A and B are shown apart, each in its own frame.
Chain A
Amino acid sequence: MNTMTLDAAGQTAPAQPESVEKATVDTDTRVTETVGQPFCDDAKLRMRGINVFYGETQAINDVSLDIGRNEVVAMIGPSGCGKSTFLRCINRMNDTIEGCRVEGDLTLDDEPIYGPRVDVVPLRARVGMVFQKPNPFPKSIYENVAYGPKIHGIASRRAELDEIVENSLRRAGLWNEVKDRLDQPGTGLSGGQQQRLCIARAIAVSPEVILMDEPCSALDPIATARIEELIDELRENYTIAIVTHSMQQAARVSQRTAYFHLGHLVEVNDTETVFTNPQHELTEAYITGRFG
C-alpha cells in the first residue's frame, strides 16, 4: 500500500485490482462531479480542471481543488488513485518524468504555475516538498539544511547562514537533538530524525507551501507522532498539502480532506465531515475499510 509507483519509463502502475476486488461497493461508479466543498475564498493554491497523462495513460481526471492559506489539506485514497501525482503537479516535479503531461490551470497566489515564462527554480523554492522516504543528501547535517539557502544565495554572510540553519532545525524540532553534531553526516540519523531533517531542509528556503508525500510511511509510530505534531506547528506559517494513506493521520493533522479515487477527486470536505458523515458512497466505503 504505497503511493502510486512510477517505473523508469514513466508509466503509471494500474490501480491494484486485488484491492478493488474485495470491495462490496461498485467501485466503478462513475465520478462525474466532486461532492463537498473543493473551493475556498482565501485560496493560496487554485487548481481547475487538472488532467495528467503519462504517455497515453491518464492518471488524473479533471480535478479542481483549492488549498487555503495556512491550512492543512490531506489527500487520501487507495493506492494508485493519483494523489501523489496530483501533489507533484503543484511544484512541477512531474516535469522530470519523461512523457508526463499536465493540463489545466494551477495558480499560486493567482500567478500561473504552468506557464511558458514560469521558472521552476523560484517556484520550487516557494513550494517545498518532503518525500515519502527520508532522502537526506550524503553530506553533514549542517550542509543538508544549508544546501537550499546556499544554492539560492539567500544568506549573504556565514552568520546569516548559521542562523537560518539553526532556525530551520529548531522549527523542525531537531535542533536540540543535533546541535552538537552538525558536522556529522545526515544519513547517520534515525529515520524519524532524517525526515525532520528533510523538513528542516525544506523550510530553510522559506517556502510558502509545503507538499508532503506520505512523509510518515517509512517511520515508526513514535517518529510519526513527532512529525504530526510538527505539521500542526508548521501550519502557523505555511500552507501544507499532505498525501497520506493513513486515515487516522489525515484526521489528526488536517483541516480539510480530499478523497481521490482512480484519478478522480471524489469528495472534499472538512476533515470532520469526511470522517463522520461522508457524502459519497465511495468515500464511505473507503473510510469504513471496505476496500483500500
Chain B
Amino acid sequence: MTDLTQEQVRERIERRLAGRHRVEKTFRGLGIASIAFGILAVVILFSDIIAKGSGAFVQSAVQLEVHYDPAVLGIEQVDEESLTWANFTGVIREALRERFPEVSGRSEKRELYSLVSTGAPFKLRNRLQADPELLGRSETVWVAADDDVDTFVKSLSDSGGGFRGRTSDRMIRWIDQLLASGELKKRFNSNFFTNGDSREPEQAGIRAALVGSLLTLLVTLALSFPIGVAAAIYLEEYAPRNRWTDLIEVNINNLAAVPSIVFGLLGLAIFINFFELPRSAPLVGGLVLTLMTLPTIIISSRAALKSVPPSIREAAMGMGASRMQVVFHHVLPLAMPGMLTGTIIGMAQALGETAPLLMIGMVAFIVDVPGGVTDPATVLPVQIFLWADSPERAFVERTSAAIMVLLSFLIVMNTSAVWLRKKLERRW
C-alpha cells in the first residue's frame, strides 16, 4: 500500500474487532432465538391442545337405580315397534325423583331432570333391546351426565370453585351430594369413540367422522397412487424432451402450490354441478383430494425413479428386456420405497385437509356412520371445524380431543414414512 503500512492496517483492524464480535454474538443469538421460537410454538401448540382436550376422554356419569316399569314405559312386551316409542325418558325421570324425593315444583323438577344427558334414554333402550328380560325389573346403570354438569364437575379441580355456566345453586347441591356418595363419577368416555356427531356434547363422538375420513382416504389412495406412479413413470422413463413435457412439468409444479380451496371450487363446479355426483360424499371428497395430492405423489415418485442409477436400466436393456420390462421388473421395485414414502406424506396431507371439503358439502351435520363412498359423510378435520364453531363450552374439549386423535394419526403416518425411508431406501 502506498500510504498504509501493515502496522497501520493491523491497528485499524484491531480497533473494530470488539464491535464485530459483538455483532457476531447477536447474530448467533438471533439464530438460536428463532429456533427456540419455532420449538416453543410446537410445545405451546401441543400442550395447549392436550391441556384442553385430555378431559374429553372421561365423562361424568350418574348412577341411577332404574325400574323398567311397563306402566311408565307404556309397553307390554319388547319388540322393534314398542321400543321406538316407549317412554324411557319417563323411566329416567322417575329414577331421578326417587333419588331426590324432596324435589317438588315444576321448575325444580326441570332442573333435576337436566342433570342427566338427553341421550340417556337411548342407553336404556339399547339395554332393554339387548335383554328383554329386564322389562318389569330394576337395575343400576351409569348414564352420562349433562354437558353443563360435566363441565362443572371437571372444572371443580380448578381453583375458584369451578365453572358455573347454567348450573344453578340447587343443582350444585345435588351434584355435591351425588359426588359425595360416589353416584357421580368421571368414567371413560366411550361415547366419544362409538358415536357420530350430536348436538349434545356428551353424546357427540368422532366415529362417523373417522369412518368418513377413512373412506375418503381410501378413494384418494386408490386413485392417486396408481395415477401418480404412472405419471411419474411416463415423465421419467418415456417422455421425450419437448414442449409438451415441459408444459406437463410446469403444470405439476404449479399445481403443487395452488391453494387447496381452489381444488374445492373445482370439485363443486365439475364433480357436483356438472357430473351431478352426490354432495357430501366421500367419493367426491376423495376425487378432490386426489387432484390435490397428485402433484406431491408425482414429484416424490419422480425423485425416487431418478435415484435409481442408470446402470440398472442399462444392464436390463443389455439382456434384451423391453423398455416396459426394464421399468416394471427392475426400476419400479427399486423406486417403490421412495414412492410409498411420498404417497404416505400425500395421504397425511389429505387427511388433514379441510377447506376443499367444505366446498363440496362435507360440512353437513352427519350423525350416522357412512356405509359407503356415496353416503353423506364428514371427515375428522371438518368435524373439528364444526365443533370449534359450536357455542357449548363442552365442545371445546371435544374439539381438542378430536384434534389429538387427528394428530396422532398424522404422527403415525409421518413417522412410518420416515421409518420406511430409513429402512428401505437404498443408497447408491
Classify A-B as touching or not with yes or no (CB < 8 A). Answer: yes
Q: How far is the CA of A167 from the CA of B2 in the complex (A)?
A: 8
**Shortest Cβ distance from residue A281 to the other chain B in the assembled complex, whole angstroms:** 42
Q: How far is the CA of A4 from the CA of B269 in the complex (A)?
A: 63
**A154 near B2 (CB under 8 angstroms)?**
no
> Is residue A199 contacting chain B, with contact meaning CB distance below 8 A?
no
Given A206-B1, A206-B6, do A154 and B12 touch, yes or no (CB 8 Å)? yes
13 contacts between A and B (CB under 8 A): A119-B21, A121-B17, A122-B14, A125-B9, A152-B13, A153-B13, A153-B16, A154-B12, A163-B2, A164-B1, A167-B2, A205-B13, A206-B1
> Is residue B257 contacting chain A, with contact meaning CB distance below 8 A?
no
**A126 near B1 (CB under 8 angstroms)?**
no
| Binary contact track A108-151/B, C-beta < 8 Å → 1, others 0 | 00000000000101100110000000000000000000000001
**A122 near B1 (CB under 8 angstroms)?**
no
**A153 near B2 (CB under 8 angstroms)?**
no
Given A205-B9, A206-B6, A206-B9, do A119 and B17 touch, yes or no (CB 8 Å)? yes
**A126 near B10 (CB under 8 angstroms)?**
yes
B-chain residues with CB within 8 Å of residue A126 when the two chains form the complex: 10
Task: Name which residue of chain A comes closest to B20, CB basis.
Answer: A121
B-chain residues with CB within 8 Å of residue A66 when the two chains form the complex: none
**B9 near A153 (CB under 8 angstroms)?**
no
> Is residue A267 contacting chain B, with contact meaning CB distance below 8 A?
no
> Is residue A213 contacting chain B, with contact meaning CB distance below 8 A?
no
Task: Name which residue of chain A comes closest to B14, CB basis.
Answer: A122
**Shortest Cβ distance from residue B371 to the other chain A in the assembled complex, whole angstroms:** 55
> Is residue A208 contacting chain B, with contact meaning CB distance below 8 A?
yes
Given A126-B10, A205-B9, A206-B9, do A152 and B16 touch, yes or no (CB 8 Å)? yes
B-chain residues with CB within 8 Å of residue A206 when the two chains form the complex: 1, 4, 6, 9
Task: Name which residue of chain B comes closest to A168, CB basis.
Answer: B1
Task: Name which residue of chain A comes closest to B9, CB basis.
Answer: A206
**B6 near A122 (CB under 8 angstroms)?**
no
A-chain residues with CB within 8 Å of residue B2 when the two chains form the complex: 163, 167
**Shortest Cβ distance from residue B356 to the other chain A in the assembled complex, whole angstroms:** 41
**Shortest Cβ distance from residue B67 to the other chain A in the assembled complex, whole angstroms:** 77
**B4 near A122 (CB under 8 angstroms)?**
no
**A153 near B12 (CB under 8 angstroms)?**
yes
Q: How far is the CA of A119 from the CA of B13 in the complex (A)?
A: 12
Task: Name which residue of chain A comes closest to B5, CB basis.
Answer: A206
Among B6, B9, B17, max chain A CB count under 10 A is at B9
Taking CB atoms and an 8 Å cut-off, the chain A residues in 137-182 that contact chain B are 151-154, 156, 160, 163-164, 167
Among A156, A163, A167, A206, max chain B CB count under 10 A is at A206
> Is residue B106 contacting chain A, with contact meaning CB distance below 8 A?
no
> Is residue B22 contacting chain A, with contact meaning CB distance below 8 A?
no
Q: How far is the CA of A205 from the CA of B13 in the complex (A)?
A: 9
Q: How far is the CA of A156 from the CA of B3 in the complex (A)?
A: 12
Task: Name which residue of chain B comes closest to A207, CB basis.
Answer: B6
Given contacts A151-B20, A152-B12, A154-B12, 18 further A-B pairs with CB under 8 A are A119-B17, A119-B21, A121-B21, A122-B17, A125-B9, A125-B10, A125-B13, A126-B10, A152-B13, A153-B12, A153-B15, A154-B9, A160-B3, A163-B2, A164-B1, A164-B4, A205-B13, A206-B9
Task: Name which residue of chain B comes closest to A237, CB basis.
Answer: B6
Q: How far is the CA of A125 from the CA of B2 in the complex (A)?
A: 18
A-chain residues with CB within 8 Å of residue B1 when the two chains form the complex: 164, 167, 206
Q: How far is the CA of A167 from the CA of B15 in the complex (A)?
A: 23
B-chain residues with CB within 8 Å of residue A205 when the two chains form the complex: 9, 13
